Amino acid sequence: MCPHLLAGLLLFSWNAAASEFVVEAAAGSLVTGTLAAPVADAPARALLLDASGRHVRAFEMTEDGRIDYQFVAGTAGPYRLRPETAALPWQDHRDPPHDLAALEFPVADAVPADPRLRALLALPEAARAERMPRFWQEVHAAGTPLHTPLASGLVRLTFLWRGQPDTRNVRLYWPAQSANLRPFSRLPATDLWFLELEVPAGTRASYRIAPDVPAGERRLMRRMMRASAQADPLNPSRWRRDPRDGEYDSDSLLALPGSPTQHWTTAVPSTLQGRVEEHRIASARLGNSRRLSVYLPHGYAENSTYPLLLVFDRQAYLRDAALPATLDKLIAAGRIPPLMAVLIDNSSAEARARELPCNYEFAAFMTDELLPWLHRHWTLERDPSRVVVAGASYGGLAAACLAWRHPQRFGRVLAQSGSFWWGPAALDADPAANGGGWLARQFAEAPRSNLSFYLEAGLLEIRRRGDSSQGILESTRELAEVLRRRGYPVQLHEYAGGHDYAVWREGIAEGLIALLGGD
């Protein structure tokens, strides 16, 4: 823990009369804590209001029924935290405010390549300062990031941030480890901060910009990123989240010229809408329980038999991928058959990191507990070629691991940016200790079965410079090559983007068409 941070945990009790918690905070301090209630099945959010009652941001419930919050007090309190589900007996477990004044805020020192910024830099300082108001007007009208095609075939992106006099640094929150957390540079004698990246043509990505993120202990940096990351005010394009939410609750969307059309996520909502039921299942094998969202197609009939789609990371596929609405559109268009989808929650973030990466006990839960429970309640296909297991990141790894262990139960794999760099030693050591491609080696050695795969990974998900372990792109390519050599049907989709639901929300539609939709 950073020596400049205060230690300890404070418990603040519920203010029943006002249905809210009062948060006193000094300007510039980092406030973190957790709202918890004994009843966690109902989704909930907590709204943060400033001293004037203005909505600042919203915080959503996590898998295990908690609402973790973190924010930097722009002005002195009091702030108010107001759970939207006020009837629950919430308790507030709050850390003491973090004093950030003594921490270091790294700033990059770079000369811009963009000709518009170089023209500014060439001006004398007095003329440069005089030019800035008009420059910001022009940038606001054009939108950011600035993008310039290069002779290499790549595109140079120039992200801009208009700083305040007390801005200490700026970072990019970007869906690729190779650029995430990189500090911006400041153009001398201006309020302009900039960062330049080179990306493939046609890149689509969501991102945020985070001012004033200190260096230091990794947990503190993650909290600071979550606390200060916000939509780019110079980019009018947004995606996801409630329209009531502000800049802290939404992401900016970059879609360069040539980025693929998103047919299914931008299509008009179908009038033939399915329904979503909420359930909870307990696991004796795992010693925990989790929520399930069960999608039933429009016209669902109990005397009919339906293909089954199993998807990990329930909350993300509901909120960020809007999967039920996508299924409605695909079914209405005749691109996939009417199916039942089960979106599987994690019992907690810690459990997710333990259970999804090729965990034998989790695989037993899926085969011995979840599938029998589903078949007792609904009429579902038992032919493995009509059972798709899907997920992103660790969820994509889990999908492929389940098919490897139980090909007679899960016959179709849809893995989006699967964490195929993973191996058993990765939990306790450097992932490079696995030699990379652990799961690929298991498929190379196992008897061939009747599996089919749809794999996708982003061109930005490459090995980080100086990192000896594989990136997601390299390890996905390796797995696809091994599977093809063994004679498995494999479709590998490489897209211009990163680790990002802004791409995955369309990718799962294309994957389902490939695995279930015939031609």
Kindly report, residue by residue over 123-173, the tens digit of the pLDDT: 999 999 999 999 999 999 999 999 999 999 999 999 999 999 889 999 999
- Name the stretches of the chain with pLDDT < 50: 1-18, 428-429, 431, 519
Are 451 and 411 in contact by the 8 Å Cβ rule? The answer is yes
> Burial, 205: exposed, middle or buried (Cβ in 10 Å; 0-12, 13-18, 19+)?
buried
Q: Which two tokens stand for residue 93?
A: 């477990």
Q: Which residues contact 261 (CB under 8 A, 6 or more apart)?
A: none
Q: Which residues contact 35 (CB under 8 A, 6 or more apart)?
A: 21, 46, 59, 66, 67, 69, 81, 83, 90, 91, 92, 93
Report the pLDDT value the prediction gives residue 4, as an integer from 0 to 100. 35
Are 261 and 311 in contact by the 8 Å Cβ rule? The answer is no
Q: Which two tokens stand for residue 420?
A: 């195929």
Report the pLDDT value the prediction gives residue 384, as an integer from 0 to 100. 97
Number of helices and strands (H, E) in the chain? 12, 24
Q: Which CATH architecture has domain 10-94?
A: Sandwich (2.60)
Residues 60, 439: Cα–Cα separation, whole Å: 34
* Structural domain boundaries in the chain: 10-94, 115-255, 276-516
Residues 116, 190: Cα–Cα separation, whole Å: 14
The class level of CATH for 115-255 reads mainly beta
Report the pLDDT value the prediction gives residue 452, as an integer from 0 to 100. 98
Domains 10-94 and 115-255 share a fold: no
Among the listed residues 268, 371, 412, 247, the one whose alpha carbon sits nearest the alpha carbon of residue 329: 268
Report the pLDDT value the prediction gives residue 182, as an integer from 0 to 100. 79
Domain 276-516 has CATH 3.20.20.70: no
Residues 64, 67: Cα–Cα separation, whole Å: 9
Among the listed residues 453, 456, 445, the one whose alpha carbon sits nearest the alpha carbon of residue 503: 456
This prediction has a pTM of 0.91
Residue-wise pLDDT tens digits, 314-324? 999 999 999 99
| DSSP element (H, E) containing 133 | helix 125-142
Report the pLDDT value the prediction gives residue 13, as an integer from 0 to 100. 39
| DSSP state, residue 392 | E
